[in-house]
Amino acid sequence: MTSTPASAKTAEQPAGASDGPPACRHAGSHTTHPGAASPVQAGAEPRTGRRSPWLAWGLAAVAVLLLVASAVLSLTTGTGRGFSGDAVIWAFALVFAVVGAMIASRHPDNAIGWLFLGAAVAVGVGSLAGSYASYWIETGDGSEVLGRTAAWYAEISWIPWILVPPTFLLLLFPDGRLLSRRWRPVAWSAALGITLEFVVDGLAPGPIADYPQLSNPYAVESPLLEPLTGLALLLIVVGLVGSSVSLIQRFRRAQGQQRQQIKWLAFAGAVAALTVPIVGFVAYDTLGESTADIVIMLSVMGLPVATGIAILKYRLYDIDVVINKSLVLVVLAAFITAVYAAIVVGLGRLLPIGDNNLGLAIAATALVAVAFEPVRVRVQHWANRLVYGTRATPYEVLAAMTSRIGESADPDAVLTEAARLLAEGTGASQAVVWIVQEGHLVPRGIAGEAPIYPEPVPLRDGGLPALPGTDLAEAVRHEGELVGALSLTKRPGEGVN
């Protein structure tokens, strides 16, 4: 009876990947298989015990209750900041709370989940403080000390939940640990900078920005505040830049599972980095305040959502396909817009045709219809190369295989190398080399992204049986007799040619 390697089970478990080299182990053995990713305690009992899910969801509930209390106080008294203010913050905090609870309850040793939960609670406290301050100012009811303190805290409450999550998310993603001890100074720089900014802002004299009728009740007159503000900014910048470099370094070292996880965060970050400045500075007036705030909110909320998908469910959604299709869609949309603008707007201004642009619009539509398919094919080819890399030609694959076979005397090493070259040359997510043994096709060489070892397949009538989970299988024969097979599994959305 042939045992199935544990990597087949491991690869199906969504979790953050460890910093160590990727490896899959046979149950009860020490054999490793290159290319498969090492999960972060996926499926294992959390060391923190059964209390972790309760604590995680309890913190999420606290955040939600704080937000509900803030919303009720704002809406019933009419002292809120409206949709563009409070509702955006509430939605942002809810996403942090839910994603954080899901991560922390399933992977309690991953600091990212608790980081998100802390941010959600911080938003809830700050939001409730702001609502109470507005209520006290409008009605005069309640404690003056509490009202002034609430206004003071609401003014500086943005610091922990705006600065902490992005900085430490980049530094700890995806397994909740630093890349190595050498990155501790970056973490300390970020933590000290954020703490110093919180303290300095809290002690700054003058009126409170959102409540100009109130002065800072805890102000301190000191010439040190200004240089300390500069120092805090410097430490925060060092932390942000260092965290970004850490993630880039982690991506360069990563293989298989962890590499795919980092792509999720990078994709969400790229969307937010493009959307926020374009909408905030270019299209804000065109879209209107409420619509622009919604677009910005959704783009930024993609970061915690992508983090949750990457850590919990990344295998359900192939990020390479998402990036590939997004690139194609954006480029084609830009092409259509450029053609229409060049013909209708450009030629419309050059030619003396007045305001009647119907003919130019028809010409632009016809040109787009004729050129669309050739452009789509070229753009798709470019996107494939950008996302999946440049693939070897068939001649290069055969030449490399011949060279490697001559260099190794180990049959298993040769078969594994053949599978690797086959996967690289075809861009397959998995390639398997099968050989015939005792009436079965048995997988002996496998390569790809977090490969899953298939079960042996029984032979029938000397023909090539169906190989489950493959997109293409070719028989290998010697003098008409079946001696093995090669199989490929392509990425979702990418066909075999």
Q: What is the CATH number of the domain that holds 458?
A: 3.30.450.40
Host domain of residue 360:
325-388
In the structure encoding, which two tokens stand for residue 208, read together?
């409170």
Residue 165: left if φ>0, alpha if ψ -120 to 50, beta else—which one? Answer: alpha
Q: Do the domain assignments include residue 5?
A: no
Q: What is the DSSP letter of 218?
A: T
Burial code (b: 16+ CB inside 10 Å, e: under 16) for 276-286 equals eeebeeeebee
Q: Quote the CA–CA distance of 214 and 210 in Å, as a whole number.
A: 9
Q: Do the domain assignments include residue 15?
A: no
Examine the domain organization and report whether 136 and 58 are in the same domain.
yes
Examine the domain organization and report whether 221 and 308 are in the same domain.
yes
Residue bearing tokens 């076979």? 405
Q: Helix 256-277 vs helix 319-340: angle between axes, to the nearest 10 degrees?
A: 30
Cβ–Cβ < 8 Å for 311, 100: no
Task: Give the 3-state secondary structure of residue 441.
Answer: strand
pTM passes above 0.85: no
Residue 459 backbone phi and psi in degrees, to 5: -85, 150
Examine the domain organization and report whether 292 and 360 are in the same domain.
no
**Which residue among 296, 317, 338 closes a domain?**
317
Examine the domain organization and report whether 173 and 67 are in the same domain.
yes
The pLDDT value recorded for residue 291 is 75
Examine the domain organization and report whether 452 and 346 are in the same domain.
no
Examine the domain organization and report whether 138 and 221 are in the same domain.
yes
Examine the domain organization and report whether 371 and 417 are in the same domain.
no
Omega of the bond leading into 174 within 30 degrees of 0 (cis): yes
Cβ–Cβ < 8 Å for 116, 99: yes
Per-residue pLDDT of the chain (497 residues; tens, 9 = 90+): 333 333 333 333 333 443 433 333 333 333 334 333 333 433 334 444 455 789 999 999 999 999 888 888 887 766 655 545 567 788 888 889 999 998 998 889 999 999 999 999 999 999 999 989 988 988 888 888 999 999 999 999 888 888 888 889 889 988 889 989 999 999 999 999 999 999 999 999 999 888 889 999 999 988 899 999 999 999 999 998 999 899 889 888 877 677 878 888 888 887 777 777 777 676 667 777 677 777 777 777 888 888 888 887 655 445 556 566 666 666 776 777 777 677 766 666 666 665 566 677 777 777 777 777 787 777 776 766 665 555 555 555 666 666 666 666 677 788 888 888 787 777 777 889 998 988 888 888 888 766 677 888 888 877 888 888 788 888 888 888 888 898 888 766 565 55
**Which residue among 290, 317, 344 closes a domain?**
317
445 HSE (CA, 13 A, CB side) = 24
Q: Do the domain assignments include residue 59?
A: yes
Give the Å distances, CA to CA, from 243 to 184, 190, 250, 276, 449. Answer: 10, 9, 10, 21, 26
Helix segments in 140-224, DSSP class H = 144-156, 158-172, 184-203
Q: Quote the CA–CA distance of 422 and 209 in Å, as a whole number.
A: 63
Cα angle value 173/179/185 (rounded, 5°): 105
Residue 119 makes CB contacts below 8 A (sequence gap 6+) with 93, 96, 100, 160, 161, 164, 165
The pLDDT value recorded for residue 295 is 78
Examine the domain organization and report whether 57 and 142 are in the same domain.
yes
Q: Do the domain assignments include residue 165?
A: yes
Q: Do the domain assignments include residue 432?
A: yes
The pLDDT value recorded for residue 490 is 78
Q: Do the domain assignments include residue 3?
A: no
Q: Quote the CA–CA distance of 96 and 122 in Å, as a whole number.
A: 11
Residue bearing tokens 């910093």? 19
Examine the domain organization and report whether 140 and 225 are in the same domain.
yes
Examine the domain organization and report whether 157 and 288 are in the same domain.
yes
Q: Do the domain assignments include residue 480?
A: yes
Examine the domain organization and report whether 189 and 337 are in the same domain.
no
CA 386 centroid distance within chain: 18
| Domains of the chain: total | 3
Q: Do the domain assignments include residue 29?
A: no
Q: Which of 409, 412, 399, 402 is nearest to 34 (CA)?
A: 412
Examine the domain organization and report whether 204 and 351 are in the same domain.
no
**Which residue among 264, 294, 317 closes a domain?**
317
